[in-house]
């Protein structure tokens, strides 16, 4: 569907849980409040939202969280999403902790891609960011995922003080022939208190090893990443830099939080309560979603933190 600024909205991020088995300090630090279980949308409700979204022309879905693989039944939900008539693409974003044993099922159902979040290549730095010493398991899952034939990408948030992780992570991605994307910290939830590194700084560091990195202009998925290629790097290096480079003019997405709040823009708390609609007046689902998409704001205001009205944690929103 086209919004009031003429943008085609065809992509939805579905957060299926606000629970997580990590505690990344910029996303869900210790003590983060959790919703009550009854506040989460059921899988049936999520499928009804996806069905209505398809009716509006939203045909690509990313399942996220929290950590989606900690919710019981996630794999079956992904399979049902894949089978919904009109759905063109279902992908998953995960921290990778529970990924490896599920890969055969995910490959068999035709999952269209998996993004694994890894912010450091050094186990101690990884533990200091996530509160967990599970880096080895996550890296093994990335290798196995790339081997399984599922399109696999690494996501790495650019944190101040962790600049020395950038090159080793990129080398690791090159070793498994995966793309790696570096993400600027956004001032949402615990991200407000986290200092980040700009994509320009990251590129400077990367060019010390791959001096011929050049912008390709390629689109490799549904996201706003700008991709760089080098003759000596097998995949691509992407930059997702919402803070230093606005890409709102071509934004194609809406988000559904784990409690069923349809968010047209990450930056603002405004949206509609689809859980209430689903539970009280389901016949209004499609019309309500259509109005919310139409009213999607023109742009975020991450450069002026005072304008950011979103108060939830990224773990509930879905990133």
Residues that bind ligand SAM (CB under 6 A): 20, 26-27, 64-65, 67, 93-95, 117, 155, 157, 183, 185-186, 188, 191, 314-315, 318-319
Q: How far apart are CA 52 and CA 233, in angstroms?
A: 41
Which span sits near ligand SF4 by CB under 6 A: 24-32, 196-204, 283-291, 298-306? 24-32
Which span sits near ligand SF4 by CB under 6 A: 17-25, 35-43, 71-79, 215-223? 17-25
Task: Indicate which of ligand SF4, ligand SAM, none lies near residue 155 (CB less than 5 to 8 Å, by partner kind).
Answer: ligand SAM
67 near ligand SF4, rule: CB under 6 A: yes
Task: Indicate which of ligand SF4, ligand SAM, none lies near residue 45 (CB less than 5 to 8 Å, by partner kind).
Answer: none
Contact between 240 and 224 (Cβ < 8 Å)? yes
315 near ligand SF4, rule: CB under 6 A: yes
Q: What single string gives the DSSP state of each residue in 155-193? A: EEEEBTT-GGGHHHHHHHHHHTT-EEEEEEPPSSGGGGG
- Which two tokens mark 167? 């090159």
66 near ligand SF4, rule: CB under 6 A: yes
Task: Indicate which of ligand SAM, ligand SF4, none lies near residue 191 (CB less than 5 to 8 Å, by partner kind).
Answer: ligand SAM
205-244: string of b/e by CB count within 10 Å (b at 16+)? bbeeebeebeeeeeebbbbbbbbbbbeebebbbbbbbbbe
Cα–Cα nearest to 232, from 298, 273, 173: 173
Task: Indicate which of ligand SAM, ligand SF4, none lies near residue 288 (CB less than 5 to 8 Å, by partner kind).
Answer: none
Beta partners for residue 113, in sequence order: 91
Interacting residue with ligand SF4 among 9, 22, 239, 317 (CB under 6 A): 22
- Which two tokens mark 274? 């689809």
Considering only residues 204 to 263 of the shown chain, the ones binding ligand SF4 according to CB under 6 A are none
For ligand SF4, the binding residues (CB under 6 A) are: 20, 22-24, 27-28, 65-67, 95, 117, 314-315
């Amino acid at each position: 569907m086209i919004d009031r600024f003429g943008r085609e909205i065809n992509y939805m991020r579905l957060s299926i849980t606000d629970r997580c088995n990590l505690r990344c300090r910029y996303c869900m630090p210790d003590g983060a409040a959790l919703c009550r279980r009854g506040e989460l949308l059921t899988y049936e409700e999520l499928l009804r939202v996806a069905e209505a979204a398809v009716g509006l022309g939203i045909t690509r879905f990313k399942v996220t969280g929290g950590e989606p693989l900690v919710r019981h039944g996630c794999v079956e939900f992904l399979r049902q999403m894949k089978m919904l008539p009109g759905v063109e693409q279902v992908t998953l974003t995960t921290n990778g902790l529970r990924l490896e044993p599920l890969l055969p099922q995910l490959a068999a159902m035709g999952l269209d891609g998996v993004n694994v979040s890894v912010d450091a290549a050094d186990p101690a730095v990884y533990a200091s960011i996530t509160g967990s010493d599970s880096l080895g398991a996550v890296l093994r899952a990335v290798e196995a995922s790339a081997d399984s034939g599922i399109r696999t990408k690494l996501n790495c948030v650019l944190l101040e003080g962790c600049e020395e992780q950038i090159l080793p992570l990129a080398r690791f991605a090159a070793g498994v022939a995966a793309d790696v994307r570096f993400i600027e910290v956004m001032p949402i939830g615990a991200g407000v208190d986290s200092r980040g590194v700009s994509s320009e700084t990251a590129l400077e560091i990367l060019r010390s090893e791959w001096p011929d990195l050049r912008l390709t202009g390629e689109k490799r998925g549904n996201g706003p990443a700008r991709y760089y290629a080098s003759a000596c790097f097998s995949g691509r290096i992407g930059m997702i830099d919402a803070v230093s480079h606005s890409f709102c003019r071509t934004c194609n997405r809406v988000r559904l939080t784990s409690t069923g709040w349809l968010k047209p823009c990450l930056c603002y708390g405004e949206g509609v309560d689809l859980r209430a609609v689903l539970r009280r007046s389901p016949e209004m689902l499609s019309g309500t979603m259509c109005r919310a998409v139409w009213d999607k704001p023109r742009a975020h205001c991450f450069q002026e933190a005072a304008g950011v009205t979103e108060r939830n944690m990224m773990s509930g929103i879905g990133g």
